[in-house]
């Protein structure tokens, strides 16, 4: 770990599968989801107020909407507008209804305000085909992009929006794509292959264009340079690090979610911090996540 990075706060939430963490600049709060416990969390850094909201089904990822109090939610079965305060859910479109072995998973809004989310294979026995990557455009039209995915993860964009990053987690390879103003990705080139046992999960990009990746099974977050070289390793006091985001008024705090799913009683006892959320003070600055722009 860089000596300039320090753990300043642990939120003892014990999430079964914490994911989708982001900084909501308009509301000055951190959001994340515990997918398997059907719970959305909101944490205010200044007041240290933590609030949780039940979700109607597994909430896999989401994005705030410009000028709107609702979230654009990627639930396990599809996309919907979701109001955490009231629980009102307005479905937009169900995804892969013909493919019961998959669900939506990781996603993020690009620099143009479009929401990208991929599906993952949950049950290989019932999955008719593997997962795909989808883009929800400003008019709520949905286009398909990548296919043949097992667990889509690591979606994020370079500061100028010209490069997109994505991984199919079991491959341990994070790829980069040329990205344009239109929802289109180029052929991939390899950024990095993670070390054995460290599976790439959620990512974000900082103001220098370096990629930060949470690594499931690796107990770490790694900062990679745009050329793929390893720059900084941040040890996480939990084996299953899941997602990362920069937060705070200065965007200098790194927030890391984690999980304890599938650990079992014995391994859970050896991993007591599993499922908690960790906040680090860093000398780095992130980039504010874009909200979805609804036309």
Residues 128-171 have pLDDT tens digits of 999 999 999 999 999 999 999 999 999 999 999 999 999 999 99
Token pair for residue 243?
């997602």
Span 190-210, mean pLDDT? 97
Q: Which residues contact 136 (CB under 8 A, 6 or more apart)?
A: 72, 79, 92, 114, 115, 116, 117, 142, 292
Q: Answer whether residue 2 shows pLDDT above 80.
A: no
Q: Answer whether residue 202 shows pLDDT above 80.
A: yes
Token pair for residue 43?
């944490």
Asked if residues 35 and 58 have their Cβ atoms less than 8 Å apart, the reply is: yes
Average pLDDT of the chain is 96
Single out the residue of 121, 72, 79 nearest to residue 100, CA to CA. Answer: 121
Span 70-81, mean pLDDT? 98
284: left (phi over 0), alpha (psi -120 to 50) or beta: beta
pLDDT at residue 262, rounded to an integer: 86
pTM, rounded to two decimals: 0.96
Residue range 15-67, pLDDT digits in tens: 999 999 999 999 999 999 999 999 999 999 999 999 999 999 999 999 999 99
Span 177-193, mean pLDDT? 90
Q: Which CATH architecture has domain 6-281?
A: 6 Propeller (2.120)
Span 210-236, mean pLDDT? 97
Q: Answer whether residue 264 shows pLDDT above 90.
A: no
Q: Answer whether residue 1 shows pLDDT above 60.
A: no
DSSP string computed for 199-263: EEEEEEEBTTS-EEEEEETTTEEEEE-TTS-EEEEEE-SSSEEEEEEEETTTT-EEEEEEE-TT-
Span 73-96, mean pLDDT? 98
């Amino acid at each position: 770990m860089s000596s300039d990075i320090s753990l300043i706060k642990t939120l003892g939430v014990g999430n079964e599968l914490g994911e989708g963490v982001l900084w909501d600049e308009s509301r000055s709060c951190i959001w994340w989801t515990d997918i398997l416990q059907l719970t959305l969390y909101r944490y205010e850094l200044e007041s240290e107020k933590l609030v949780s909201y039940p979700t109607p089904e597994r909430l896999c990822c989401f994005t705030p909407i410009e000028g709107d109090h609702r979230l654009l939610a990627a639930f396990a079965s599809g996309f919907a507008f979701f109001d955490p305060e009231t629980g009102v859910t307005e479905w937009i479109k169900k995804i892969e209804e013909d493919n019961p072995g998959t669900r939506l998973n990781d996603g993020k809004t690009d620099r143009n305000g479009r929401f990208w989310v991929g599906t993952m294979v949950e049950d290989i026995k019932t999955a008719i085909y593997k997962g795909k990557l989808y883009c929800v455009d400003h008019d709520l039209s949905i286009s398909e992009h990548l296919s043949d995915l097992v667990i889509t993860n690591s979606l994020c964009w370079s500061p100028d929006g010209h490069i997109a990053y994505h991984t199919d987690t079991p491959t341990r390879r994070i790829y980069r794509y040329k990205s344009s103003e239109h929802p289109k990705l180029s052929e991939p080139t390899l950024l990095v292959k993670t070390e054995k046992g460290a599976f790439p999960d959620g990512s974000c990009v900082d103001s220098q264009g370096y990629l930060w990746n949470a690594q499931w099974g690796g107990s770490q977050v790694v900062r990679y340079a745009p050329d793929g070289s390893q720059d900084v390793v941040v040890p996480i006091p939990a084996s299953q690090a899941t997602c990362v985001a920069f937060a705070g008024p200065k965007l200098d705090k790194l927030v890391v979610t984690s999980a304890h799913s599938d650990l079992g009683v014995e391994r859970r006892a050896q991993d007591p911090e599993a499922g908690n959320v960790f906040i680090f003070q860093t000398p780095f600055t992130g980039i504010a996540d874009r909200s979805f722009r609804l036309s």
